[in-house]
Structure 1
Amino acid sequence: MDKTRPDTVAAPRRFPLREVVLFAALLLAVLGVYAVMGAAYSTRMLVEAACYAILALGLTIQWGYAGQFNAGVMGFVALGGFCAMTFSVPVNEAFWGSELPGELGRVLLTMVAAALVVFGATRLDRLGVPKALRTLIAVVLAMVLYLVVINALRDVTDQIEARAGFIGGLGLPVGVGWIVGGALAGGVGYFIGRVCLGLRSDYLAIATLGIAEIIKAFLKNSDWLTRGTATVSPLPWPVPAPAEVGFTLARALYLSVTAVMIAVIFFLLTRAYYAPWGRMIRAIRDNEVSAAAMGKDINRRRLEIFVLGCILMGIGGAALASFNSLFDPQGYLPLNHTFLVLVMVILGGPGNNLGTLFGAVTVYIIWIMSGPIALYLMELAVTLGQASFGWEAPTNLDSRALQARVFVIGLLITLVLRFAPKGLLPEKVIHHG
């Protein structure tokens, strides 16, 4: 045996021609948007694209690193936006200056006590109670305590809505809400992962999609907590607002904040990808049976990567909500906050962090600009038709142009899956010998 043979067979270094060409084309596209749409509009587009890039990085480590198809990105984005609103909006004195916080606190403590009682009932078999009887006791207790708690909670929330509108925020710095948004999304992802990561990929996608809709429905119908469809606005920014320094400069400052966040996340994810932890995650993705045979804790590692991705989605959702200066639970849509992120990852290349950033910015530019371009082409066609054939001008060109976004994104994903199924910048696999 040749003991001088290296463990890793590294591919010879090459000039990154594809990367340079693609990013040069992207830069030209951005400059073109600036030239046509103006600095304020274009900077806003780049900030939103940067927030989506954070979401896409969260999805690419779940899907690209570990092969976990998360179809519930929208739910974690909404949780991040909820935390950004709750922690940054000014305090509602109408709520905190009354006895309502104490009543709400008592109901929440009752809820925790009820959960502990039900949990204790599920452990009665350790005291010699038959499992069938244990299950029956736990189910009956859960149903009874649920009715008790939900009735008490409804009484308090009705008073909150009638007397204070909603509980309001905590008036803390914006960054606190972003951090807590990531933590909350990660915590929810942990409990979801404990239940769903044992499912096959198609069932995992269905489960996460359903859970995202549950989160949205809860936030939408909890008027005492989020004002529901009435929305909460304005949300504070972590940088000077447009009213203070102007739209363009304020958005440029916000862009610098998101750019720093992306740089830090990109650096950490790249280090993790090439570290032993990253190699282990990819080994589990490629051959779970062999990884388990090597003594790896499959479920624990899969849960780690799922939670990490959810944390990034929560942070990205918080940054996006703060930038829009609006929290609207009804505005979270699977098309905008799940499918669009999925297209970004597919276009850039699952498992390639640089490709994901390229895909996020490219897809968002196409998504935003397809509307104005479609409207221009429609108006041109109508003008030519009126001049040549006497056509009557339709009155709903704006809405039709917005619908063209879906067609363009659908066509884009079809072409990518046909001609570049691994993305424009595929994952670079390092072979080991």
Structure 2
Amino acid sequence: METKRADTVAAQSRFPLREVLLFAAVLLAVLAVYAAMGPAYSTRMLVEAACYAILALGLTIQWGYAGQFNAGVMGFVALGGFCAMFFSFPINPDFWESELPGELGLALLYMIAAVLVVFGATRLDRIGVPKKLRTLLAVILGLVLYLVVVNAFRGVTDQIESRAGFVGGLGLPVGVGWVVGGALAGGVGYFIGRVCLGLRSDYLAIATLGIAEIIKAFLKNSDWLTRGTATVSPLPWPVPGPAEVGFTLARALYLSVTAVMIAAIFFLLSRAYHAPWGRMIRAIRDNEISAAAMGKDINKRRLEIFVLGCILMGIGGAALASFNSMFDPQGYLPLNHTFLVLVMVILGGPGNNLGTIFGAVAVYIIWIMSAPMALYLMDLAMALGAGLGWETPTNMDSRALQARVFVIGLLITLVLRYAPKGLLPEKVRHHG
């Protein structure tokens, strides 16, 4: 027993050789990108990788800590980006100096009243109304009031689009939009969790994927609120922009902000992971029946972890939208904002915060650099083919971009085959 305990302590206190080697490899890759592409391009890559790291940390606590497979990351990223736009973009005087805000507020009051009426109808059984009649009344009221509210909104939104273009923003500091973006994503995650967390993992994935598409469709088609496919730009930064201090320095300052955010999130998650709360979450993940037998509130803890992950996704989405200086609802794609984040978590190691950060940076470097590398190899092949009299194909740039999908697919295949728990697997400390 003493020998086993000594081996466990030695294993836990070993020098982190694998971590050092992997992060050294990432550092060499970053330096190679700086040498090949220049500081401005490379710093931009690192900022975007840092934003994706925040998204990946949100997913790893849902999937790695609690075993919740969220396939709707894109929706929460879009909500964060919307809040970054709405709260930081300058106000639109054409909208605010007219009577349109009052009319829009009245339509919102109609919507709130309709929701309260329908909610009250679902509680009629408490005063003796039969449940079947209660359900029928709630459905009829819901349909009728939905038509009334939609008609009221359509009249106001048509006026907004024709007279003001869209409502504009609130002109508040950028950080306000980031905080509200996390809060809104967490609120939507709470609603989804109350409905969907009782489902099996595969059904939860389908539900979250569908809700993400609903969020994207709403933002894309609400021209009065988001300008739809016309996009909203430029969005302000929380640091001096390129026009003031130059591209490289501005991006370096932005990188410092995201680095501080990651450090704070990493510290808090690590403390929570090693605290009794973290051990309880992992116990629920590994053996739900035993955890319930010990008196743990399974549904409450699942909901906590799901909401926490959604909050981080909203914050990361807000930071990414502000850095891109543009809000484009059509630009949110499952490949870029769900599948890519999933690959980052799988490569780094679900449940390992340090591994997730490594996976985010490594995968994003591969994602960004696979296109120019593929273009370089294609140009070499075409030069060789031209010397041999072959016909040279066109649209090489678009063909090189398609190589990203192939490279990421090959990467995830290799990882699942040779490192199914990630390059930095979760380390569960044993006490004995």
Report the TM-score, using the length of structure 2 for normalisation.
0.98
Q: Where does structure 1 differ by over 6 angstroms across 4 or more consecutive aligned residues?
A: none
Equivalent residue runs for 1:111-260 within 5 Å? 111-260=111-260
Contact 1:77 1:316 in 2 (8 A): yes
Q: Counterpart in 2 of 1:98?
A: 98
Q: Cα 1:425–1:54, aligned 2, differ >3 Å: closer, same or farther? A: same
Distance 1:220 1:38 in 2: 35
171-180 vs 423-432, which moves further: 423-432
Distance 1:303 1:215 in 2: 20
Distance 1:293 1:188 in 2: 30
Equivalent residue runs for 1:14-29 within 5 Å? 14-29=14-29
* CA displacement 1:398-431 (0-9 Å, x = unmatched): 0000000000000000000000000000000112
Distance 1:120 1:173 in 2: 39
Equivalent residue runs for 1:260-279 within 5 Å? 260-279=260-279
Distance 2:9 2:260 in 1: 34
How far has the Cα of 1:12 moved from its partner?
4.2
Q: Counterpart in 2 of 1:400?
A: 399
How far has the Cα of 1:11 moved from its partner?
4.1
Amino acid at match of 2:370: S
Runs of 5+ consecutive residues of structure 2 not aligned to the other structure: none
3-state SS of 1:61 partner: helix
Contact 1:89 1:171 in 2 (8 A): yes
Distance 2:275 2:181 in 1: 27
Q: Counterpart in 2 of 1:281?
A: 281
Amino acid at match of 1:277: W
* CA displacement 1:268-296 (0-9 Å, x = unmatched): 00000000000000000000000000000
How far has the Cα of 1:395 moved from its partner?
1.6
Distance 2:317 2:13 in 1: 37
Distance 1:430 1:339 in 2: 30
Distance 1:355 1:292 in 2: 30
* CA displacement 1:2-43 (0-9 Å, x = unmatched): 9xx99x978441111100110111100000000000000000
Amino acid at match of 2:193: G
Q: Counterpart in 2 of 1:426?
A: 425
3-state SS of 1:350 partner: coil
**2:48 maps to 1:60:** no
Distance 1:131 1:432 in 2: 52
Q: Counterpart in 2 of 1:290?
A: 290
Contact 1:53 1:357 in 2 (8 A): yes
**2:359 maps to 1:359:** yes
Runs of 5+ consecutive residues of structure 1 not aligned to the other structure: none
Contact 1:72 1:210 in 2 (8 A): yes
Q: Counterpart in 1 of 2:409?
A: 410
3-state SS of 2:398 partner: helix
Q: Counterpart in 2 of 1:380?
A: 380
Equivalent residue runs for 1:307-386 within 5 Å? 307-386=307-386
Contact 2:60 2:353 in 1 (8 A): yes
Equivalent residue runs for 1:49-88 within 5 Å? 49-88=49-88
Q: State the identity %.
A: 88
How far has the Cα of 1:394 moved from its partner?
1.6
Distance 1:47 1:19 in 2: 22
3-state SS of 2:237 partner: coil
Amino acid at match of 2:401: L
How far has the Cα of 1:186 moved from its partner?
0.2
Distance 1:113 1:10 in 2: 63
Tell me the number of residue pairs that the alignment of Structure 1 and Structure 2 aligns. 428
Distance 2:269 2:252 in 1: 25
Distance 1:20 1:224 in 2: 50
Distance 2:128 2:156 in 1: 40
Contact 1:11 1:430 in 2 (8 A): no
Contact 1:122 1:134 in 2 (8 A): yes
Contact 1:87 1:177 in 2 (8 A): yes
Distance 2:221 2:128 in 1: 43
3-state SS of 2:79 partner: helix
Contact 2:235 2:326 in 1 (8 A): yes
3-state SS of 1:240 partner: coil
Distance 1:326 1:296 in 2: 44
Distance 1:41 1:126 in 2: 63
Q: Cα 1:89–1:104, aligned 2, differ >3 Å: closer, same or farther? A: same
Contact 2:12 2:429 in 1 (8 A): no
Amino acid at match of 2:409: G
* CA displacement 1:240-272 (0-9 Å, x = unmatched): 010110000000000000000000000000000
* CA displacement 1:52-103 (0-9 Å, x = unmatched): 0000000000000000000000000000000000000000000000000000
3-state SS of 1:431 partner: coil
Contact 1:10 1:430 in 2 (8 A): no
Distance 1:330 1:10 in 2: 52
* CA displacement 1:355-378 (0-9 Å, x = unmatched): 000000000000000000000000
Distance 2:84 2:13 in 1: 44
79-88 vs 10-19, which moves further: 10-19
Contact 1:10 1:431 in 2 (8 A): no
Amino acid at match of 1:366: I
